[in-house]
Chain A
Amino acid sequence: MNETELKELIDVDLISLDEPPAEKEAVIEHLLDLAVEAGRVSDHEQALADLLAREEESTTGVGMGIGIPHAKTAGVAEPTLAFTRSSEGVDFGAMDDEPATLFFMILVPEASSDDHLQILSSLSRSLVHEETREKLHTAETAERVQEIIIEEVA
């Protein structure tokens, strides 16, 4: 993805720095609401069902405080990434038992190849570094978060 595509993927409207709900499923709904409000979701129910079906298979709480709910879904027409963060931490069912504090939701259209997996692996590679996680925690504006994500995923 080039920079313009990445900016489109993670528009500032898709980034919330307010404390999200304290429970896993509510956080996923909260992320999806950001995408709905940004006008990115054509079928809310379908997108939610696909996200929850993926969690059913295995948790997207991948440890080190990261949750990355994701799905390929007919509920969106364009690849969409939403972000929020928590200072309290949310139990995402991760194997390392660490509460999740950084959340990324990835939705890609049904017709796309495996774009979501590529976004997922680039994000994961950068989030392994404590420095990246720290930057996302301390960023003061949605614009700054957008910049960091674009730098890290590009």
Chain B
Amino acid sequence: MPERVVEVVPEEGLHARPASLFVETANEYDAEVSVGPEGAADDDLVSASSMLAVTGLGVAGGEKLRIVAEGADAVAALDALEELLSTPEDEL
């Protein structure tokens, strides 16, 4: 399954606007995307399409995430999510 580790650039972390854009983006692709802290086991990943689950991760700026995608658009979804997380909040 395609996956990658991405640093969260927005200073406030994965909250508020960056978090909702993250969830919206994950929902746009034909892929099941799951996410967790870097090094998280498969069982500890949560659905990237749930705002509640993503909020529950409590990710701060500068932390790294492990993102795993499965499905026809898995790689495209990972590309889009990586780009989003690599963009400072004021440029989103």
Contact residues of A with B, CB < 8 Å? 54, 57-59, 62-64, 66, 68, 94-96, 114, 117-118, 120-122, 124-125, 127-128
Distance (whole angstroms) from the CB of A8 to the closest CB of chain B:
22
Bound CA span A95–B57, Å: 18
16 contacts between A and B (CB under 8 A): A54-B16, A57-B17, A58-B16, A58-B19, A62-B52, A62-B55, A63-B50, A64-B50, A95-B27, A95-B51, A117-B13, A117-B60, A121-B56, A122-B56, A124-B58, A128-B50
Q: Point out the residues of chain A lying under 8 angstroms from B15, CB to CB.
A: 117, 120
Bound CA span A7–B66, Å: 35
From known contacts A117-B58, A120-B58, infer whether A63 and B52 are also in contact, taking CB-CB under 8 Å.
yes
Assess whether B80 is interfacial by the CB under 8 Å rule.
Answer: no
Lowest 10 CB-CB distances: which A-B pairs, in order? A121-B58, A124-B56, A125-B56, A124-B55, A62-B51, A58-B20, A62-B52, A58-B17, A63-B51, A64-B52
Scoring A54, A121, A128 by chain B CB atoms within 10 A of each residue's CB, the highest score goes to: A121
Distance (whole angstroms) from the CB of B7 to the closest CB of chain A:
18
Bound CA span A55–B51, Å: 14
Q: With A68-B55, A128-B56 given, can you name 8 additional A-B contacts, CB distance below 8 Å? A: A58-B16, A95-B27, A117-B13, A121-B55, A124-B53, A124-B55, A125-B56, A128-B50
Q: Point out the residues of chain A lying under 8 angstroms from B55, CB to CB.
A: 62, 68, 120-121, 124
Bound CA span A54–B52, Å: 16
The chain B residue with its CB closest to the CB of A126 is B56
The chain A residue with its CB closest to the CB of B23 is A95
The chain B residue with its CB closest to the CB of A54 is B16
Partner of A94, one of B16, B51, B56, B57: B51
Assess whether B32 is interfacial by the CB under 8 Å rule.
Answer: no
Bound CA span A31–B46, Å: 29
Distance (whole angstroms) from the CB of A86 to the closest CB of chain B:
17
**B52 to A128, Cβ gap below 8 A?**
yes
The chain A residue with its CB closest to the CB of B47 is A128
Q: Point out the residues of chain A lying under 8 angstroms from B52, CB to CB.
A: 62-64, 66, 124, 127-128
